[in-house]
Amino acid sequence: MNDGEEEFKLTEHIKVNILNIWQSGCKDLNEITGRIFPGLDGRFKEGRAIKKFLIQNKLNPKLSHKYTKKIDEFELTEDQKEFIRNNASNNKAEDLAKEIFEQTLNPNDTRLRAVKKFCELLDPNLRYKPEDNEVTNKYYPPKNHTQAMRKIEKWVQTKNFAKNPPRQFDLQCFDKLISYMHNFHFLHIINQYYEQDKRDLFESTFVRYIHDKPDLIEEELDQYIDLCSDIVHAETIRHDRLIYQKIRDEYLNQEDVEKKKLSYTMVEYLGKLETELNNTKKRIEKNYERLVSNRAERLANQHSANASVHALVLAMQDAEKRAAWVAIAKKRKEQLRNEQRRLSDLDNLKAEIFGLSESEAVDMNI
Asked if residue 217 is part of any domain, the answer here is yes
The verdict on 151 and 99 lying in the same domain is no
Which residues, including other chains, have CB under 8 Å from residue 301's CB and lie 6 or more apart?
none
Rounded to the nearest 5°, which phi and psi values hold at 193? Answer: -90, 115
The verdict on 60 and 85 lying in the same domain is no
The verdict on 113 and 163 lying in the same domain is no
The verdict on 11 and 120 lying in the same domain is no
Asked if residue 289 is part of any domain, the answer here is yes
Asked if residue 317 is part of any domain, the answer here is no
pLDDT tens-digit profile, the chain (366 residues): 555 557 788 887 788 788 878 877 788 888 888 878 776 788 888 889 999 988 888 888 887 655 444 445 788 888 889 888 888 887 888 888 888 887 667 666 788 888 888 888 888 777 777 665 666 578 889 999 999 999 999 999 999 998 999 999 999 999 999 999 999 999 999 998 888 899 999 999 999 999 999 999 999 999 999 999 999 999 999 988 888 888 777 766 766 666 666 666 777 878 888 999 999 999 999 999 999 999 888 888 877 656 555 555 555 566 666 676 777 777 877 887 777 677 666 666 555 555 555 555 555 554
The verdict on 91 and 21 lying in the same domain is no
The verdict on 149 and 287 lying in the same domain is yes
Asked if residue 286 is part of any domain, the answer here is yes
Give DSSP secondary structure letters for 346-364.
HHHHHHHHHT--HHHHHHH
Asked if residue 340 is part of any domain, the answer here is no
Supply the range of the domain harboring residue 4.
1-65
Contact call for residues 48 and 8 (beta carbons, < 8 A)? yes
The verdict on 40 and 104 lying in the same domain is no
DSSP summary character for residue 260:
H
Asked if residue 60 is part of any domain, the answer here is yes
Rounded to the nearest 5°, which phi and psi values hold at 363? Answer: -65, -35
User: Which of these three, 297, 320, 349, is where a domain ends?
Assistant: 297
The distance in angstroms from the start CA to the end CA of the chain is: 100
The verdict on 83 and 209 lying in the same domain is no
The verdict on 104 and 165 lying in the same domain is no
The verdict on 105 and 187 lying in the same domain is no
User: Which of these three, 297, 332, 356, is where a domain ends?
Assistant: 297
With 0-12 / 13-18 / 19 or more C-beta atoms within 10 angstroms meaning exposed / middle / buried, residue 8 is middle
Contact call for residues 50 and 29 (beta carbons, < 8 A)? yes
The verdict on 197 and 95 lying in the same domain is no
Angle at 279 between CA 273 and CA 280, to 5 degrees: 85
Contact call for residues 1 and 45 (beta carbons, < 8 A)? yes
Which residues, including other chains, have CB under 8 Å from residue 344's CB and lie 6 or more apart?
none
pTM: 0.51
The verdict on 87 and 223 lying in the same domain is no
The helix/strand/coil state of 22 is: helix
Tally Cβ neighbours within 10 Å of residue 84.
Answer: 23
Give DSSP secondary structure letters for 308-331.
HHHHHHHHHHHHHHHHHHHHHHHH
Asked if residue 245 is part of any domain, the answer here is yes
Q: For the chain, what is the domain count? A: 3
